[in-house]
Structure 1
């Protein structure tokens, strides 16, 4: 009996469960993707190189962050469950009135939770597997990973971990439902649909004054950030954060009245359709929602900033790698002054690395000890220019603190050490393996050190992967939390406004006009915080770019595209689901 009634309730109330279902599905997807790192092509590529040990560190850090993510998702799902209980209070009161015991009602909710939870878990896992594959393709292209490492793979450990984590959340939801039912009185359940929140209004003049003060505080905070920079963390830095947060709070505290004043000045706009009703509703509710809108705006700022920065820094780190090692390989060799001058090319060839065959361009030259700095001959400088260009030759001198001597080094200064610069031809990995074997022969002749672009790239790549994955993990989490809280808030307000919309229907307002009014209210709630968050993020990224400009620049195209895609999928998905759910609540409450 309970199973049949629960399944019937699920089918009947499937649209009421929409936001709850969406929150679980997105949460499962997020949790699976970032716990299935072993399926990522970029990490498999890094793991096959024994010199790169960042993979385990990334996995451990993601594991730690997963605990934090689990706590946030558990809060969101429990928060959504509270909306469901409130939405169905009259229905639950009817069950009690018909003679069902409280434990039986709790059992009914338990079965419904299991049904919806299992469906959401399955949908989230399917979405997570596809998202993990898409992330693998994106990062493979971003980090130039060979396509041999790009495969479609399912992570069984991540599946099990995700299923267990959300099973615990579902258990918490069941306990919450049982507790909520046991605490409710029958009279409160039956009167729930007739109890509305008491709404207060603030004078429009005060709202305009608060709006202007908020804007001034934000302008001051922006100016401090742009003039002082992002890295000076001192007392004024926290003053700047405080001014920005307070300005955001005052902005939303006053915005409804300010909008109302602007719209009232345009009679054609104010009295068009149900705009008067929408603005009055928004103006009244801002007394209780401006704090949450402030928090949501700041969370959206974190989501946008972290996501854009983590993706955009890829190009910057790539430039840093090229600056550190412009040539594929750089070798420095030194020996005793009385030893004969070495033929580095011949020594490497004897060890199995033939520069003529393995390199597209190479050059070996001595460096002499001058009076104030090391020097190289004009002939060797000209040889560098011939092979790699004057700009690279001058950059090499600046990077290695060298000067050019017009005379032969042996006539003016003693020999200090030898340089060997080369660019590989063909397979760089195979050429570097041969070079590593051949260079060991130099140990018998003197001291040496060497570095390669490939090795530096792998080291930097680990840093890039760490920044990217953690940035996306936290960015999507903050975005998901913001959208879910907004959706549940708007659905609750739609349920509270059912009486007013019934009255509008009796007064002759058509269904289409009422539906557009609901959409307008949801739009204001979703896109006002997002609009200010975009302004905050634009100023913040300008300050961040000023710091990054010292070594490179942010890849604005990639960061903007990824951030926009996440906004469209997550935030846009919740917006559409909220519009649909709010309209349905008002239709079914007539």
Structure 2
């Protein structure tokens, strides 16, 4: 018989073993192709020039990210391949016992790898082609553009995918050849008799390790949540402490969990709980490190998905707030007001207003003691404290349809683009604390209780400022000015900006202004920028989240399925002593569920601590609020992928341990 035919027969015969491996390969190929084919979406989306640039930027970012993803997938595929090799060592030993040379066994493995690799590449690319179509629909929705429904397939992305996975398969072939060349016949034949040893045997040691792990995790949680500055400075130590604590936690479970449940004899001896718990305990004791790594990968998956969805959702929701005017020009050049009015062609616009921003020697450090219950590390204490005149503030607010604010000549109030900053300053306003502005004492009041946006910009330009009476700042130097303009219609914005930009460019050349940079932006530009940034965030979250989810679930599935054959004799004994098949099935379901839920549960606890911290950092950076709105979407993705692997593992495990009579009964049915 030719080796190629034998290899194909082995693949068909071992389809149960290869199914999880094949599905993981197919998903990996599909993901890699789908997120590398962004450039092809331009063919079906009706994009403006700026939107096309955004899409190309997202595509380039995905291509760079794919290098990291390829490394992660390579390790996952190598792990899955080692799982198959371990399960078939006895089979290879029989080949050698019958006189087959090692090089021929290696050749069979090469043919098997080629067959599975070809099928997974083909099916993965086909599935990836379908997913890329769906991704195009999602992109159109996120960019709020129309699309032409026609088939698209990216040849360059397909070539990149084929080359990347071919390299991985070649590495697998070389490693398999090396394993077969070095292995001894006795090791192959006795592979199933070798039991993995528990790392911790004594219960008191397990309890001690558990206490150490909880201490490390508590320390990591405290450092992460104490302040944003501490989190940023201590990020690497926090990750190391949390990672070590996670691994030690699973190491301690091997000796602690079983002993703890034994105290409840009613639970321990009920149905097949004793069998399930012992098998889980044995597996955790030998795979605690991998379970800890799986838990951390699940944390990364949940974090990436949650932050990606939340940022996209918040960016889109905040567009109306951050674009109160059709056009804004930020002036920090030394140009007279008369010239600015001519350059901006204000005689042609529907309405306009300007907001002058003033600063002095006082910094934000001055007001930090006033902010009760707020993480002041989020604010740069060295930044200058900014002031705005009451009349210009009211004019800007009235242009947005808001009511003007009235204060006395010796009063002032804070405004901010973030509601939580205003909330932190509420007590200072209620107690009418005094603050010095240009040498004069002003009494604080709570005149504005909602966020304020005084110009059109992708991110809030004025994060925190103090509104003061006009007389306080009328003789002070202006730091910068925001010229806000509304035209008769949105359609005029593009032509207006082109004309104004030319005016400023010509003026800079005529007056000899050095290093002039045009600082005008339109509502449409901000909207397209926000939508594009949101799409980038959500696709990064999806890409990394799905990759880590697939990797985590695949590792757990392979670990459980690798034990199925070893556990078959135990279940055969249970059947012989009269255990109903339904009870056996329930015990298998419970075993798989507990094994899958242990790392996921701890990952969720980690995420409940870590995700709000990371989201809070992004939230302040973008001036956004409420980063937990999309947890339901994150849970849906986790449930879909993790649940799929869970069900496949359950049915695969159950089929592997079924008795001959049960199989015959199913066939006859």
Distance 1:161 1:371, change over 3 A: closer
CA distance in 1, matches of 2:479, 2:283: 78
1:390 equivalent among 402, 408, 420: 402
Which has the larger helix fraction? 1
2:552 equivalent among 457, 479, 482: 482
CA distance in 2, matches of 1:294, 1:178: 30
SS at match of 1:451: strand
CA positional deviation for 1:165? 1.8
CA distance in 2, matches of 1:26, 1:341: 59
Pairs within 5 Å for 1:518-537:
518-537=588-607
| 288-297 or 257-266, larger mean C-alpha shift | 257-266
Partner of 1:12: 13
Partner of 1:363: 351
Distance 1:341 1:156, change over 3 A: closer
CA positional deviation for 1:274? 1.4
CA distance in 2, matches of 1:293, 1:433: 56
Partner of 1:431: 492
Unaligned runs of 5+ in 2: 361-385, 406-414, 416-451, 456-460, 512-517, 662-669
Partner of 1:226: 225
Partner of 1:88: 88
Partner of 1:358: none
Partner of 2:31: 30
Distance 1:173 1:255, change over 3 A: same
Pairs within 5 Å for 1:77-156:
77-142=77-142, 144-148=143-147, 153-156=152-155
CA positional deviation for 1:238? 5.0
CA distance in 2, matches of 1:11, 1:457: 54
RMSD after superposition: 4.1
CA positional deviation for 1:188? 3.2
C-alpha offsets along residues 34-89 of structure 1, whole Å, 9 cap, x if unaligned? Answer: 11111346996777328x85555544443333233223222222221222222222
CA positional deviation for 1:541? 1.9
CA positional deviation for 1:312? 1.0
Decide whether the 8 Å contact of 1:368 with 1:414 is kept in 2.
Answer: no
C-alpha offsets along residues 486-541 of structure 1, whole Å, 9 cap, x if unaligned? Answer: 22222222333334333333333333333333333322222101100001001112
Partner of 2:524: 454
C-alpha offsets along residues 303-348 of structure 1, whole Å, 9 cap, x if unaligned? Answer: 2112211221124444676565421212579976888985966754
Decide whether the 8 Å contact of 2:254 with 2:281 is kept in 1.
Answer: yes
| 290-299 or 259-268, larger mean C-alpha shift | 259-268
Distance 1:363 1:4, change over 3 A: same
Partner of 2:248: 250
CA distance in 1, matches of 2:559, 2:337: 79
Distance 1:512 1:425, change over 3 A: farther
CA distance in 2, matches of 1:371, 1:229: 26
Partner of 1:292: 290
Decide whether the 8 Å contact of 2:328 with 2:522 is kept in 1.
Answer: yes
Decide whether the 8 Å contact of 1:83 with 1:492 is kept in 2.
Answer: yes
CA distance in 1, matches of 2:617, 2:356: 37
C-alpha offsets along residues 265-294 of structure 1, whole Å, 9 cap, x if unaligned? Answer: 332221112111221222233332112211
Do structure 1's residue 75 and structure 2's residue 75 form an aligned pair?
yes
C-alpha offsets along residues 459-491 of structure 1, whole Å, 9 cap, x if unaligned? Answer: 444544443333332222222222222222222
CA distance in 2, matches of 1:247, 1:175: 36
Distance 1:202 1:367, change over 3 A: closer
Pairs within 5 Å for 1:174-185:
174-185=173-184
Decide whether the 8 Å contact of 2:267 with 2:273 is kept in 1.
Answer: yes
Partner of 1:260: 258
Unaligned runs of 5+ in 1: 349-354, 356-361
Distance 1:86 1:9, change over 3 A: same
CA positional deviation for 1:109? 2.8
Partner of 1:468: 538
Decide whether the 8 Å contact of 2:351 with 2:487 is kept in 1.
Answer: no
Do structure 1's residue 62 and structure 2's residue 123 form an aligned pair?
no
CA positional deviation for 1:368? 9.3
Scaled by the length of structure 2, the TM-score of the pair is 0.73
CA distance in 2, matches of 1:217, 1:369: 47
Decide whether the 8 Å contact of 2:300 with 2:548 is kept in 1.
Answer: yes
Pairs within 5 Å for 1:291-310:
291-310=289-308
**Corresponding pairs, count:** 567
CA distance in 2, matches of 1:179, 1:345: 76
CA distance in 2, matches of 1:172, 1:574: 26
C-alpha offsets along residues 136-167 of structure 1, whole Å, 9 cap, x if unaligned? Answer: 3334333x421237765221211122122222
